[in-house]
Amino acid sequence: MDVLSSETVRELASAHGGIRVSLYMPTKRFSPDAVFENATRLKNLLKEARAELIARAVRPASADEMLKDVHALADDRQFWLGARDGLALFIDGGTRAFRLPVAFEESVYVGERFRVRPLLAAPRADQRFYVLSLSLKRPRLLLGGPDGLRELTVEEMPEGLQDALRWDDFEKRSLQFHTRTAAAPGGRRPAVFHGSGEPDPKEEIARYFRGIDRVLVEHLDERTPVVLAAVDYLVPLYREVSGLKTLASEAVTGSPDEMADTELHARALAIAERVFDREKRAALERVVEQWTSPKVVTDPLQLLEAASEHRVDTLFVATDAELWGAWRNGGPVPEVHPVQQPGDEDLLDVASVLTLRSNGAVHVLAADEMPHQEPAIAILRY
């Protein structure tokens, strides 16, 4: 099973030439009827894919050979036991399959390029984040991704509040200190000085948090977001002392010691995804600010031309937008058709692929999220 990463998306986008099949479908997670329903849905899509291949002059025997691995997958019960919300399959000389937490709309696409636009809405394995599960008894550092959390071992990190303070008599003697000298003449005892009483719990906690933070600042990279999980009164105390540059502004509140890792992952992932969306939100703000600038392009043909010339920095495309046409023989202007014709490609998909191939960013939005309800918008590099 392939792992979806940003690099994988670019690899799929870069493939061009020959005949390629892209299949998307929603899937049911494991239940008594899920295996049968998922397998039946995939087999129906394979019939559609076979018909489209034959319509493109692929011999029936060659179409069957091309799709045989996916037919075997459809009958593989073990494969369906790991089903999630959606399945994406990419077929050329081999087959790449992705079980993902996205309920894709059912579709079959046959062409010279893979259709990657629906894939852009899926979380990627390289979108990682840390979770600092913080309590006075036991701090934990976990590495998170779309699929779950994995606890990391950090040897230098204090094991708890008492461990962090064990080297100091502060918590044991209530800020008392004594001076001992030889007995004064006449047998009088030397003076004994006492502190002001009980230690300040807030200062003790701050010292404990500084010890944790010092280790994390030294070991964690400065690109991966850190999501804090702690009871609500500890969150501001940690923020006061933290030097972590990637500490998320939101936190998972509640006792992490009493929280299942599945719940902790779900809540931290939601925060991390909002952090990952910052780039998209910042680009949307640029669109609004520069709407009348020549660097913002909405005309599909101009946009496609800019993408082919590697000039698109960021592309926004509406989820359901389509622009059918053909770019024949490398001609300067694509043919655009009001409805799909044999051999047509979705030119907005082509623009997405070309943008990804030149290391641009592509964001897929719902139609009502698109500025001015445009189907596609590009921010140009120059």
- pLDDT tens figures, 238-273: 999 999 999 999 999 999 999 999 999 999 999 998
Residues 6+ apart with CB under 8 A from 236: none
> What's the angle, vertex CA 65, arms to CA 49 and CA 60, rounded to 5?
60
Residues contacting residue 142 through CB under 8 Å, at least 6 positions apart: 130, 131, 133, 149, 150, 151, 152, 261, 264
pLDDT by residue (tens digit) across 42-95?
999 999 999 999 999 999 999 999 999 999 999 999 999 999 999 999 999 899
pLDDT band at 326 (very low <50, low <70, confident <90, very high): confident
Going from the C-alpha of 348 to that of each of 15, 106, 123, the distances in angstroms are 17, 19, 21
Q: How far is CA 341 from the centre of its chain?
A: 36
Q: Ramachandran region of residue 143, left (φ > 0), alpha (ψ -120 to 50) or beta?
A: beta
Average pLDDT rounded to a whole number, residues 322-334: 78
pTM comes to 0.71
Tokens for 332, please give them: 């300067």
Longest dimension (CA), the chain: 116
For all residues of the chain together, what is the average pLDDT?
87
Give, to the nearest 10 degrees, the angle between helix 234-241 and helix 201-219: 60
Residue 151: CB atoms within 10 A of its CB come to 12
The answer on pLDDT for 200 being more than 80 is no
Which domains does the chain carry? 1-125 (3.30.960.10), 129-170+198-276 (3.30.420), 277-382 (3.30.1330.30)
Cα separation, 297 vs 380, in Å, equals: 8
Strand order in the sheet with 226-230: 148-152, 140-145, 129-133, 226-230, 247-253
Q: Which of 182, 42, 202 is nearest to 107 (CA)?
A: 42
pLDDT above 90 for 192: no
CA separation for the pair 160, 137 (Å, rounded): 5
Mean pLDDT over 2-8 rounds to 83
In this prediction, residue 1 has a pLDDT band, given cuts at 50, 70 and 90, of: low
- Write the CB contacts of 372 (distance below 8 Å, at least 6 apart in sequence): 291, 298
The one-letter amino acid at 285? E
Q: Are strands 247-253 and 226-230 parallel, antiparallel or unpaired?
A: parallel
For residue 276, the model assigns a pLDDT of 87
Band (pLDDT 50/70/90 cuts) for residue 166 is low
Residue 165 has pLDDT above 70, yes or no: no
Give residue 330's pLDDT band: very low, low, confident or very high (50, 70, 90).
low
Rounded to whole angstroms, how far apart are CA atoms 368 and 363?
Answer: 14
Question: Looking at the DSSP assignment, which residues form a beta bridge with residue 133?
Answer: 140, 229
* Res. 181: pLDDT tops 50: no
167: pLDDT strictly greater than 70: no
* Banded pLDDT at 172 (limits 50, 70, 90): very low
Query: Distance (Å, rounded) from C-alpha 208 to C-alpha 213?
Result: 9
Q: List Cβ<8 Å contacts ≥24 apart for 271-275.
A: 271/227, 272/127, 272/129, 272/144, 272/225, 272/227, 272/248, 273/123, 273/127, 274/250, 275/129, 275/225, 275/248
Whether residue 155 contacts residue 212, with contact meaning beta carbons closer than 8 Å, is answered with no
For the stretch 11-36, pLDDT in tens is 898 888 899 999 999 999 988 789 99
Supply 323's token pair: 């622009």
If you average pLDDT over residues 99-121, what whole number do you get?
91
Buried b (16+ CB within 10 A) or exposed e, 66-82: bbeebeebbeeeebbee
- State percent of the chain over pLDDT 90: 61
Q: What residues contact 339, with CB distance under 8 A and at least 6 apart? A: 324
Beta-sheet strands, E only, within 231-369: 247-253, 296-297, 312-318, 324-326, 335-336, 345-346, 361-365
- Cα–Cα distance, 84 to 102 (Å, whole number): 8
Question: Residue 176 has which token pair?
Answer: 């008392």
177, pLDDT greater than 50: no
Q: Regarding beta strands 129-133 and 226-230, do their DSSP bridges make them parallel or antiparallel, or are they unpaired?
A: parallel
Q: Which residues partner with 252 through β-bridges?
A: 229
